[in-house]
């Protein structure tokens, strides 16, 4: 892929990821949190579901159940916690806490998948934890929004582990579409039962829902998966570090949020920790390629 075009797509997809925090917070003026995110992902799941009907669909109730559980954590859990967190903390803080998930994946992968990680990766986890402590103002400020932000990261990491275990059973677009649809329907149900529903229909609220469903969900997912398919997945995933940056930037531009210096400092440590978890030195990559070539010759 042309490097310039690749860079443009990276900026598009990560900016859509990050800006959805600020746009979502704007939507809370018109729609209650769970109802808003339920409308977003139900609409996105329906539109994408119609598009993937010709793809291989799950052929058993067990596989449909796996899709439901992935949707429960990836869409209902993550997005429900994010939008609830936005009621009491800034879009920038919510995005930083949510993108802590790669560090939690290391811990959950060790516990439940038996994955073995290097010292460098565990050091990255430690840096990330210190970064969270700094981001919270050098003390454990367990506000409800902070807890929901961390809940989003935990739910995302659980979903990542489930996708690692079950993802091979599904076509990637089918997995994406139906986990969004199932998660969206769950969020709609929770929006009508676990909170006092609020729905103010105006051109602004309709525009926000359409932007979140189409641009920040369908277009963002499509662009991201295209990049993963065309480039090195490890290198491409490293650009997820840009998403919290765009979350902070969009909160400043759209909502006039003031972000304290320690949020930037803690966020930088979190990004450094995530980089150390995901980074593979060039010497190890070369050794892996040589081992692969040797096994082919054998």
**Half-sphere CA count of 156, side-chain side, radius 13 A:** 20
Q: How confident is the model at residue 234 (pLDDT cuts 50, 70, 90)?
A: low
Domain range enclosing 88: 3-297
Exposed/middle/buried for 125, CB within 10 Å: 0-12, 13-18, 19+? buried
Residue 170 to residue 166: CA distance in whole angstroms: 8
pTM equals 0.77
Residue 162 to residue 216: CA distance in whole angstroms: 23
pLDDT (0 to 100) of residue 98? 82
pLDDT (0 to 100) of residue 101? 73
Exposed/middle/buried for 270, CB within 10 Å: 0-12, 13-18, 19+? buried
Q: How large a percentage of the chain has pLDDT more than 70?
A: 82
CB 34, CB 195: distance < 8 Å = yes
Residues 22-30 have a mean pLDDT of 93
Residues 216-222 have a mean pLDDT of 86
pLDDT (0 to 100) of residue 296? 38
Q: Quick check: 102 pLDDT over 60?
A: yes
Q: Quick check: 52 pLDDT over 70?
A: yes
Pull the structure tokens for residue 215.
């641009």
Q: Quick check: 79 pLDDT over 70?
A: yes
Q: Closest by alpha carbon to 160, among 103, 92, 114, 216? A: 103
For the chain, the domain total comes to 1
pLDDT tens digits, residue range 192-208? 998 899 999 999 999 99
Residues 90-117 have a mean pLDDT of 74
pLDDT (0 to 100) of residue 204? 95
pLDDT tens digits, residue range 244-295? 778 878 888 888 877 777 777 877 887 787 777 666 655 454 454 444 334 3
pLDDT (0 to 100) of residue 139? 54
pLDDT tens digits, residue range 145-189? 888 988 998 898 888 788 878 888 888 889 889 999 999 999 999
pLDDT (0 to 100) of residue 54? 87
pLDDT (0 to 100) of residue 265? 82
Residue 35 to residue 192: CA distance in whole angstroms: 7
Between the CA of residue 187 and those of 33, 138, 154, 219, 228, what are the distances in Å? 9, 34, 18, 21, 28
């Amino acid at each position: 892929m042309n490097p310039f075009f690749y860079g443009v797509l990276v900026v598009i997809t990560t900016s859509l990821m990050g800006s959805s925090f600020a746009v979502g917070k704007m939507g809370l003026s018109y729609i209650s949190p769970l109802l808003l995110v339920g409308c977003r992902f139900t609409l996105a799941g329906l539109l994408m579901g119609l598009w993937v009907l010709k793809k291989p669909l799950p052929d058993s109730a067990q596989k449909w159940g796996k899709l439901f559980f992935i949707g429960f954590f990836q869409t209902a859990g993550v997005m429900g916690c994010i939008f609830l967190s936005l009621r009491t903390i800034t879009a920038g803080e919510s995005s930083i806490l949510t993108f802590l998930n790669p560090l939690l994946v290391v811990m959950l992968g060790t516990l439940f998948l038996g994955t073995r990680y290097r010292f460098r990766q565990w050091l990255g986890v430690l840096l990330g934890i210190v970064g969270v402590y700094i981001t919270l103002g050098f003390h454990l400020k367990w506000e409800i929004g902070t807890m929901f932000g961390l809940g989003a990261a935990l739910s995302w990491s659980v979903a990542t582990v489930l996708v690692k275990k079950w993802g091979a059973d599904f076509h990637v677009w089918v997995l994406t579409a139906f986990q969004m649809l199932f998660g969206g329907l769950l969020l709609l149900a929770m929006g009508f039962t676990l909170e006092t529903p609020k729905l103010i229909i105006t051109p602004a609220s309709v525009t926000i829902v359409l932007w979140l469903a189409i641009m920040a969900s369908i277009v963002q997912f499509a662009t991201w998966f295209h990049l993963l398919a065309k480039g090195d997945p490890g290198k491409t995933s490293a650009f997820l570090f840009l998403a919290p940056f765009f979350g902070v930037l969009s909160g400043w531009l759209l909502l006039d949020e003031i972000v304290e210096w320690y949020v930037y400092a803690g966020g930088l440590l979190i990004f450094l920790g995530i980089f150390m978890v995901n980074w593979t030195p060039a010497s190890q990559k070369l050794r892996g390629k040589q081992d692969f070539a040797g096994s082919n010759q054998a």
